[in-house]
Each structure stands twice: as structure tokens, then as C-alpha cells.
Amino acid sequence: MSWTGPGLPGRAGSRLVPVGSPEDEPPLPAAVLVVALVGFTVIGALSAVIEVLLVPLYIGSVIFPVTLLLVVIGNVMLPRLVRGLVNAAAVSLVPIVGWLAVVAVMGFLPSEMGDVLLPGYGSGQYVGQALVPLGLFSGVISVLVDNGRRRVPTADAPTGVTARNR
């Protein structure tokens, strides 16, 4: 790792900042952040559409629960991508909110003929019943774990050196 600033790593009173750290980067303009957040919300909603439609996927006569794998991967990665743009845990939940809204509308509200897309019977019911809790759990845990790994200065570190990049 290369360092910039006066002093050497570990010397008290020196301001050491790793090259390429967030302190070197200027903040993004507000318009870019809004467009990015709307984009990530739409991506979360589109992933929910795909996942709800894949719930009753069968290979032959056996249910194939690939949608649960997609839920975990998507709901872990989307908040982490948002968190790379904005250093706020609450904002990184935006794709999960979009995902949950689409799953609730598509999966639980009946159509004009009374059909719902998340089945409550047969072998597909287990995939449908696991979709919402697994998606919410993986999204919230992703935000909490990522929040715990944010750069937090330690008391014994020189100014600019953080626990993550020491």
C-alpha cells in the first residue's frame, strides 16, 4: 500500500492517507446520486419480478428453487453497491424497499381472476413462503455487516489511518 502525506506509518502526529482512499475522492453531485438511487431501486424491482416469476419453476416433476439463490445474491449485492456510492446505511436499503414493494404487489395481491403468483399449495409453497423472509433477512444483514465494516478511526491510530486500512 502506498501512502501520501508527511511522516511515516505509525508515527504519532502525522497525517497519513492511503492513496485512493475515500478522503481523496470528491463527493458525487446530488443529481448523480438521485439518478443512481432510482436506478438501483428499479434494478431491485426488476429482480423481484424475475424472482417471483421463477418461484414455480420445475425441472421435470421436481421444484427447482433457483429463485431463492437469486434472492440472496441480489439482496446482498444491491445494498453493497449503493453503499459504495453513499456512506449511509439507511440509504442502502432503498433497493430492498423497491424489491419488497414489487414482491408484495405481484406475489400477494390477487389478479382479476383471483390468482396470486406465490403459491400457497403444493411443493411450490415452500419456495414462495421462503422468498420474502429470506430476501428481507439477506438484505438487512448485508446492510448491517457492511455498516460494521465502514472506516471507523481507532483511538491509537494516527489521524487519517483507520482500522480497515491499517
Report pLDDT digits (tens) over 83-120: 888 878 888 999 999 999 999 999 888 888 888 888 77
Domain membership of residue 141 (yes or no) is yes
Domain membership of residue 12 (yes or no) is no
Domain membership of residue 53 (yes or no) is yes
Reported pTM:
0.72
| 60-69 CB contacts, 8 Å cutoff, 24+ apart | 62/123, 63/123, 63/124, 63/126, 63/127, 65/126, 65/127, 65/130, 67/127, 67/131, 68/127, 68/130, 68/131, 68/134
- Structural domain that includes position 59: 23-148
Domain membership of residue 27 (yes or no) is yes
pLDDT of residue 14: 46
- Percent of residues, the chain, with pLDDT higher than 90: 39
Domain membership of residue 111 (yes or no) is yes
Domain membership of residue 120 (yes or no) is yes
- Cβ atoms of residues 137 and 79 within 8 Å: no
Domain membership of residue 114 (yes or no) is yes
Residue 164 pLDDT class (50, 70, 90 cuts):
low
Task: Quote the number of domains for the chain.
Answer: 1
Domain membership of residue 100 (yes or no) is yes
